[in-house]
Amino acid sequence: MTTIPIMIDIKNKEVVVVGGGHIATRRLERLVDQEARLTVISPTATAEIIRWADQELVTWKPRNFEYQDLEKAFMLIVATNDPVSNVAARKAAPPNCLVNAVDEAEFGNIHFPAHFTRGKLSIAVSTNGASPMLAKKINQELANQFDDRYDQYLEFLFAARLLIKKARISSPDKKAYLRTFLDESFLQDAIQQQTLRELQLLVDKTKQNID
């Protein structure tokens, strides 16, 4: 497989996970907050999956998968510990379905990178299956570098950008402002608050100039 990175909105989409073990749980951890329609088909399930089923975040069908289970799948995650079942599930995927084959990635058409978020910041690391451990290591290093402060920083950048877009100033000036906010000093709460106040004044002032 050759791959491109992409962000997918899976809200209200049918996601079927075949298998209910450790790896299925790891995939579901990523999916339970995304308001997808999640179905797990597996004779056994981990405590987490059972808890999500109790909370109605996941529908668990406690049995081996059958072909009809996959008919409406938008995304299929094949994660049993039985190679024969994994091949059968993969082959039963409907046309155009996104398929993650956790045991033999090249037989699917998507894989899951190592990933973390800091609010609106999302960082993913892939080695295209060459070394999941290296992906994990680099991901951890980046998570240390882009620490919890980035959560609020992204909110600040978002709010500041909306104000800059409203301000009636030239395009190069807008870009210059946006570039300034990338300085490390803007990670500080006090500087963020002060900047937002100043930008609001700028918006008001440039509006008056036009009016």
Ligand X SMILES: NC(=O)c1ccc[n+]([C@@H]2O[C@H](COP(=O)([O-])OP(=O)(O)OC[C@H]3O[C@@H](n4cnc5c(N)ncnc54)[C@H](O)[C@@H]3O)[C@@H](O)[C@H]2O)c1
| Interface residues toward ligand X, by CB under 6 A | 18-24, 41-44, 64-65, 79-82, 85, 102-103, 132
Cα distances from 126 to residues 5, 7, 114, 133, 152, in angstroms, run 9, 14, 6, 10, 26
**Which among ligand X, ligand PQ2, none contacts residue 80 (Cβ within 5 to 8 A by kind)?**
ligand X
Least distance (Å) from ligand X to the CB of residue 72?
17
199/7 Cα distance (integer angstroms):
31
Compute φ and ψ for 85, nearest 5 degrees.
Answer: -65, -40
Q: Per CB under 6 A, does 105 bind ligand PQ2? A: yes
22 contacts which partner out of ligand PQ2, ligand X, none, CB within 5 to 8 A by kind?
ligand X
Task: Please report whether residue 21 would count as binding ligand PQ2 according to CB under 6 A.
Answer: no
Examine residue 111 and tell whether it contacts ligand PQ2 (CB under 6 A).
yes
For 122, which DSSP code? Answer: E
Cβ-Cβ contacts under 8 Å for 171 (sequence gap 6 or more): none
Extract the tokens encoding 12: 């209200």
Give the interface size with ligand PQ2 as a residue count (CB under 6 A).
21
Radius of gyration of the chain (CA): 23
Which of the listed partners (ligand PQ2, ligand X, none) does 85 bind, with a CB threshold of 5 to 8 Å by partner kind? ligand X
In terms of CB distance, is 66 or 104 closer to ligand PQ2?
A: 104
CA 13, 29, 137 angle in degrees (round to 5)?
125
| Residue 129 sits in the site that holds ligand PQ2 (CB under 6 A) | yes
Between β-strands 14-18 and 37-41, what pairing exists: parallel, antiparallel or unpaired? parallel
Binding of ligand PQ2 by 104 (CB under 6 A): yes
Task: Tell me if 22 contacts ligand PQ2 by CB under 6 A.
Answer: no
Determine if 53 is a binding residue for ligand PQ2 (CB under 6 A).
no
Which is closer to ligand X, CB of 19 or CB of 39?
19
Q: How far is the CB of 39 from ligand PQ2 (least distance, A)?
A: 19
- Read off the amino acid at residue 161: R
The residues, ordered by sequence, that sit 6+ positions from 32 with a Cβ below 8 Å of its Cβ are 38, 52, 57, 58
114 binding ligand PQ2? (CB under 6 A):
yes
Q: Which two tokens stand for residue 42?
A: 């597996």
Site residues (CB under 6 A) for ligand PQ2?
A: 26, 100, 102-105, 111-114, 126-133, 135-136, 139
